[in-house]
Every structure is written in structure tokens, then in C-alpha cells.
Structure 1
Amino acid sequence: MSAKLDALDVIERPVTERPVVTSIRSRFPAYDDEPEAAEIVPLDRLIGAIYEGPMESPPWQSALQLMREALRAGHVTLILRPPTSDSAGIMINTGKTTMEGMESYSNRFFALDPFVRLKEGEVVTAEELIGRQWLESPIYKEYMRSIDVRHLLGADISGDGVECRLRVTRPHGAPEFSAQDKMLCRTLLPHLKRSIQLHTRIDFLECERQLFAGAVNRMLLGLVIFDQNGTIIETNQEAKRILAEKDGIRLFGNALGVDSSTESRELQSMIRHALTGPCAANNGAPGIVEAMSVSRPSGRAKLGVLVRPIPLGQWSESKQRPAVAVFLRDPESNAAQPSNELLRKLFGLTRMEASLAMLLAEGFTLDEAAEKMDVRRNTARTHLRSIFCKTGVTRQTMLVRLLLNSVISVS
């Protein structure tokens, strides 16, 4: 048996027979612009790179490069989102490309591309799809030929809201794609599809995380996250601001420290209980939320501190997962005020009414608000009565509570 096995030898070998070599070898020694780099590309390395792709930036860059080497291609391109008349789309390229060439395709030539809407899982060449007319097509004559693309191999991936395209090229003078090349692509396609689905899920979770993190920041809640080892793994913008002031609470290395020894012991005890309590045991018992205040040497109002355990997931295995959240509140922080326009839309207020409502929410009395607005007290009272009518409240304290508890607090 020859020691030089290609991808098809490995793929088609019965499972009862263990192959000695599981690799894709160069089949075109004469066509090799990188003689050493792509001599052997292990199949397991290629598949591994596909599943590691969602963690890369840009995603799948390593996998596409390995595919380019294995297929002796000029380019391997993954079109994550095809271009449209309204959007340039998203393309991940390997090989020699220019920004001008990519923009040309995204802005114009995508509309001329006949190599679209392929059958799911099908791997075809341009000639197989449209025949010899490929060389007479506008996209070849006006675009592909200018960037030295002669042979084009493609497959589409669709389903679950995903519409991606895999395209492989070779330049003029290179061999056409063989049945073995197409078999390799067909073998990799299911793995690439699953990896893209994982990427979609991760992207959704990241968008959700950023949305909630932004809401917490806008509410001026400091957030410090600990892992199961008691190590800080994340702090948000407001927490960084509070800790940077070093006024009562600060960072000591990778741990929280409090200036007062008594308060420090209390905080460390709360964090320790959260790390070792019912949530950490994953027995379904609710975690205990604890709170305390931290005095500040500057004499400013005390900081509020709340410690909440984060329940252990049923299938969690990593000790670096978030285990405890510590919330910090500075009562003297001034939240960014919502726009006058937002208040008007939310409650149907006039500009003057919205301005008065914002001043009252900031803690000003009616007289102080009237002075700031440069109106008479009676005029301010008239505006306040109108605000009461539109919001359905009957007292100033109720109005302030309504404003602070409405969606404007996360705007």
C-alpha cells in the first residue's frame, strides 16, 4: 500500500481499518507557489480550525487559509452576508486581495454574479453551473479576469436564518478543480455549517450581553464579577470609576479591598459565602443576597454594596465562569439625563413640561425648578398640574418615582 494517501483515501477507507496517514497531500507539484507550507494539511487540523473559527477575529481565518493550502487555491472566501443594493455584506478572504477589488464586487459586480443560489450541500464549478459561457459572462470578463481568477468552485450554506457562500478560486494557468477537490469541500461543508450556527448563537449572546451591560452602565450601577476561585474577571465602566477614586473601596491586585478593616472583613465574608453557598453547590437552592454600606474617608455619602451569587448552570464545568456579582452604587453620581424629546414622546409632554419634569426628577423643588426655567412659580404650577394629568399621578413624589422607574432610566 502506498504511503501517499490523499483525502479521498482517508474518507472512503472502512472504519474498521485505521489509516496511518490522515492528511491532504499536494496533488499538483508543478502548481505550488508555497512549496513547503502546504505539503501536508492534516484533515483533523482542518476540521479543528473550522470549529475554532467562531473564536477568531476575523472568524475562520485560519480554517480558510488551511483550505487554501490544501486546495492549492488562489483565494478561499467565505461570504457571511451576501452584498445587496443596500449593504456591502461581509466577506472573509484569504489570498491576495485589495480593498479596491472587494469594494468593486460589493458595490457593483455582485449583481452580475450568476454563481448564486446553489443547492444546499452541492459543490460545483462555474463551468458545471453555467457551461462554457462562464468565460463569456460579464463578471468574468469585467471582474474575474482582471484579478486573475480562471477557475471557480463554490458551495452555499443555508438554513436557520443563515445564508453563506463558500468560494474557492484558482488563477489562469492552474489546473481545474478535480473530483477530489470537490469531495474535500463536501466533507468540510457540514462542519462549516455547524460552526457557522455556533457563531450565530455566540453572536446573539454577545449582542444580548452588550445590551444588558449597557443598561447597567446607564443606570450607574457598578458591577464587579468574580469567578469560582474568587478572582475578578470583569468590571464595568461605573465600577472602574468608583474603584479608581480609591475613596473607601479600591482594587488590591485582583481583589476588592475596603479601607475600613471592619467593613473589609464584612465584605470578604459576604463574597466568601456567595462563593460557597447553595448556588455554588448547584442544588437548586436560591442564593442569599447580602448588602452593606462602605464609608468614604472623603466624607461623601456611603457607597452601597450588594453581593449576589450567580447560579451554577446544570452543565457548567469551567471554574472561570462568573460566580459572584458585586454591585456598587454611588449615591452622589449624577445619571445622564434623558433627552427632552424622549420624555415628550413617552408621556406626551410639551417642551416646558418635559424640562420641569426632568428638574424635579433631579431633586429640585418646584420653586428651584421655576427659577432655573426662568418662569413664575404659578406658571410652573400650571405646568405641573398638566404633567399630573398626562402621567396619571397626583403628587410630586409619585411623579419622580414614575420617571425614575420608567424606561427613561435605561435610555
Structure 2
Amino acid sequence: MAALPSVVIVLPSLKISGGVKEAIRLGRELADAGVSVHVLAMWRSPQPVDNIALNVVALSNWQTRARIAALHLPILFARFRRHRRSIDAGRESDHTHYVFTHFATLPLALAVPRDRRWFFVQGLEWMIYHPGLIRYILRWIILAFYRRGRLLTANNYLTSQIRRLDITVEAEAPIWADPAFRSTQDLCRDIDAVMVLRKGDHKRLDLYHALIDEARRQAPEITLAVITPETEVAQVVRDRVAHCWLRPDVDTMRTVYARSRCFVMLSEHEGFGLPPLEAMGSGCVPFCRDSGGVCAYMVDTLGELVFPLDWPVGRIVERLRAVLADPQAWATYSAAARRIFDEGLERSRSRADRLVGSLASPARTEHST
């Protein structure tokens, strides 16, 4: 019987974020399938993910700072090579695969043979910048790495986008919301619309502020709530909405979604966009700009609630108001949200087993060391 491959997941840090959490969750699923999984974190985060339940090695105790990150890379590269030798010791190195998760981790991939160098694509990272030179350069660098490794994508939307660039995708590990977000609670839905606010140009905090102002002016009867991991954001919006939660746990978020009739997401680009899907597990109806990844789960009837990027916030508020005023329409959307959530949850249960098969198979394209 062939030995199972071992996997090393390389993260920029253990910062609380969707991309990091999903990489760790995939690692746990692989571990449950019998794979030996290690996690390497390049930098320290002041707010790390906890209860990882995997072997974690910190390559440094430096805190993440974008401005000086490049200065750290030579030392991090040397430490990574040393840890790689340690991890590979005692086993056939061909059975150890390295999964690089974010742009910041890509330089370390140069220390790994191409046939065992995987990139977990959870988004088109260059899209977080405005069109211009920075986006162009970042796109060129990322795609150069992708063409020299093996690609694992997080959903069919990302697979299609990468294949359009004539780059091979070897496997999909479809992201889906944590089963813990599934709720059948029949709570009083005293929140009309909930939003998750994060920093980042592509997250469009400016649009959320505009929507909050527009809703207060145009539809003061709408009860708004905000969830955010950012202390500064909470301080700004707390007095402008009915409810504000700072870094709530999963149980609290599930309860908030069960109390909410709709979820609004205004991002410019998302490789997936988990928060609306997590809310759907409680029958909360998503309203999203067409940021890309949301189309992986806002299908069938819910596709009517994916809005063009050029819609002004006033028009989104009007559409939200119309659905809230129509109990039958809201109930139809809510039932669809629960159904889509449950169906995707069932499909995602076997993704670790499928990925183990891909890791054990030869690369689809010719690679050299």
C-alpha cells in the first residue's frame, strides 16, 4: 500500500482572516484523512487563529509589517529551507508536498521542487489593488509562480478564471462554510440587514459607510447591524447602527445571522466571500455586488440578488427595502439560501479524500526541479 503524502501548509501568519482559516481547515481535514500535516507561519500576528490542532512552526517572531516584509525574506527563506530538511528527514521527500497560500509565501516556493510545489488559490490577489502599475506587476509575478507549480483552487469560479489564462488547475478543494454555521433556530428576526466590515481597498469600506448613511436617510425603519474584526471600524460605526459586534465567536455570529433577515456584502472582488454563505446557513438572505466568487453559491433564485458593480448604494438600498417589504419573496429567498447551504455542505465533505488522490498523482504538466 502506497504511503500517504505529507503536507506542509505555508502561511504568512496565523492572522484571523478567511484565507488563513480556510487553509487551516483544509489542513485539519487532511489530517483527519490520515495525512501528516505541518503548518509554517512566516510572521507573528497579534490576533492569531486559536485552537489550530495542527503542528505549527513559527519561522520568526517578527510581527507582520508590509513595509519591511521584503527585508525579512532572505532570513525567512534560509529558515524555511532548514525546516524543510527537518520535516523531510526520515521520510521519502517525494511524499512531502508544500502548499503556499498567499502572495507573501510565494518566494519560499523557490526552495521546493516544482512537482511538490502547490499554490492554494483562494482569490485573484492582484485584484485587491486598483488598476495600474502595481496590479500589473503583482499579477505578472503571481502568474509566473503559478506556471511553475501545481494549482489547487477553492471553487469553480477561480478554476475558470485561471484556466482562461492558459494555466493548468490540477485540483479543486471547494471551500464551503463551516457546518457550525448551519442553524435551524427560529429566532425573532429583529435585524433587517447585517454586514461584515473589514479593511482593504477591495473590501470597500467607503461603500458600507455610504450605504449606512443612505439607509438612515432613505429607509430609517431598516435595522442595521455590523460585525467586524477591526477595532477602529467598530469605533466609527458603533453609533451609526443598531448593533455592532467586535470579533465575535462562531456561536455569536450564528445567532446574529439567525436574527437577521438579510446579509449585505459590497466588496469589489472576492475569490469566494465566505460571510454571506455562512449567513445563508441560518436562512439569512444574501445581497451582494458581483465580486466574482459569490457566484459560486449565489445560484438559481439567489442569482437575482447579485448586483452589478456599477449600481449605486441608493439602488441597493431600494432593492433591499423591496425584499424586506415582501414577506413571500423573502421567505422564498431564505428557503433557497438554506437549501444551497446544505447541498454544498454535503458536497464538500469528501474534498480531503479527493485532494489526497491528487497529491499522490504525478503532475499533469511537465515539471523539473
TM-score, normalisation: structure 2: 0.25
TM-score, normalisation: structure 1: 0.24
